[in-house]
Structure 1
Amino acid sequence: MNRPTADRLADEAAQCLAEWKADASWQDLCDRALTHLTRWPTLLGTPVICCLDLDRDGGPLLEQAARALAVKAAGHILAGPDLPAMLPVAVPVEDAVVAFTAQVDLLRGVTDRAGVRLVQHTPANVLPYRAGCLTHDAYAAAWGEPPARYWLDHDTVAARQEHLLDLYTSTGLKPGSHTIAFETGR
């Protein structure tokens, strides 16, 4: 762990998030991101959370996503466009990040008014989130230990995704396709 880097990221991330939350459009952004998260869940992202209930988990999960975005924004501020792309985020939190980024106009307005540039893209290979990685250390320095319910380590996520895939396959579903034949009118 590079403690000075994590501490600098933490300070910058906390400042970014505080500025975003002070924006008049922040609550509207969160409301719309929550709608997105509940309407369009993925098969292998948020469902890896044990006993997921988006009525209960949606708000806290979006808070985690906002913090993840703030850490990535801090990475861009401190190191340019390369560091944020290398900061791993736990899979269910990343799903919630997508719910924020789907609100592109609102999010851009909030971040532009704060003078912060977000760098967010899907990496070619999923970066494994684990305790002790730079994202974890920066988060912990800014807000305390990340909630384990949402910040699941890579190995736990992989095992749960495999279990979900087995369940989905048994019903004829798999990511990207299915074998379900719908009757006309249904």
Structure 2
Amino acid sequence: MLDKEINHMTMTTLPAPAEVAARANDILDALKAHPDYERLGDSARRYTDCWATFTGYPIIASWNLDTDTGPLFDEAMRVLALKSAVFELTDGDEHAAELVVSAPVDEMVHAVLAQYTLCQRMTAALGIRFVHMTDQERFGWNPGDYTHRCYLAAGWGEPNPRYWIDAATTRSRLQILNQRYATVGIGRDGRSHSIDFTGEAARLVLAG
């Protein structure tokens, strides 16, 4: 059974949310039963120490690495399961499978996929495919969209509003963040800064 919604990037008719949800739950259960699942979660949570954007995790109110990365990992794995399900049900249409998600959740998806060895081993063993390409990403998640309907159909309840932040709120928070970033010389959503480190380094040596 097919949903009426069309992915206009490919003109693919998207699978019904109930169909996506059923397959996504099977995928997620299989992933959780894999012996490397716990290690994948631990490694993904540690990834924040190596890399994080200025526009993903920071839009979470009072973001805290210690308490937020665990719930975000759960959300990321749900998203990956949904994407994998859509990919299978559309005969490998990666455009259709690139679901619209909230920026902080998408950032944790990146952290999971950075665990390349584990992801390869787990997906190969389970016969599934994780789907994610930056050139296919679309932002601007809003309640009621296709991703939301699939999520609800999976029986996971309402997406946690702390992490699932709608498009308008995301724009507002990014504006606030950029105003704060600018006060320390960081510009363009963290894509540039005016810190030359010379003076800063000298002050740190003197202070230390």
TM class by smaller structure: over 0.9
**Are 2:27 and 1:16 equivalent residues in the alignment?**
yes
Question: Residue 108 of structure 2 corresponds to which residue in structure 1?
Answer: 96
Secondary structure (helix, strand or coil) at the match of 2:134 reads coil
Q: Residue 75 and residue 99 in structure 1: after superposition, are their counterparts in 2 closer, same or farther (change >3 A)?
A: same
1:45-103 C-alpha deviation (Å, 9 max, x unpaired): 01000111110011001100110111101110111223112x10110000000000111
Question: Residue 182 of structure 1 corresponds to which residue in structure 2?
Answer: 197
- CA RMSD in angstroms, aligned pairs only: 1.8
2:103 maps to a residue whose letter is: V
Question: Residue 132 of structure 1 corresponds to which residue in structure 2?
Answer: 144
Q: Following superposition of structure 1 onto structure 2, how do residues 23-34 of structure 1 map, counting pairs within 5 Å? A: 23-34=34-45
- Structure 2 distance, partners of 1:67, 1:162, is 29
Question: Residue 75 of structure 2 corresponds to which residue in structure 1?
Answer: 64
- Structure 2 distance, partners of 1:89, 1:125, is 9
Whether the 8 Å contact between 1:90 and 1:151 is mirrored in structure 2 is: yes
**Are 2:176 and 1:163 equivalent residues in the alignment?**
yes
1:83-142 C-alpha deviation (Å, 9 max, x unpaired): 112x10110000000000111110121122111111101146633111111111111111
Unaligned runs of 5+ in 1: none
* Structure with bigger gyration radius: 2
Aligned identity (percent) is 35
- Structure 2 distance, partners of 1:125, 1:76, is 14
Secondary structure (helix, strand or coil) at the match of 1:129 reads coil
Normalized against structure 1, the TM-score is what? 0.93
More strand by share: 2
Unaligned runs of 5+ in 2: 5-14
Q: Which runs of 4+ in 1 moved over 6 A?
A: none
Q: Residue 124 and residue 155 in structure 1: after superposition, are their counterparts in 2 closer, same or farther (change >3 A)?
A: same
Q: Residue 125 and residue 66 in structure 1: after superposition, are their counterparts in 2 closer, same or farther (change >3 A)?
A: closer
Normalized against structure 2, the TM-score is what? 0.83
Whether the 8 Å contact between 1:38 and 1:58 is mirrored in structure 2 is: no
Higher RCO (Cα < 8 Å, 6 or more apart): 1
- Structure 2 distance, partners of 1:112, 1:44, is 32
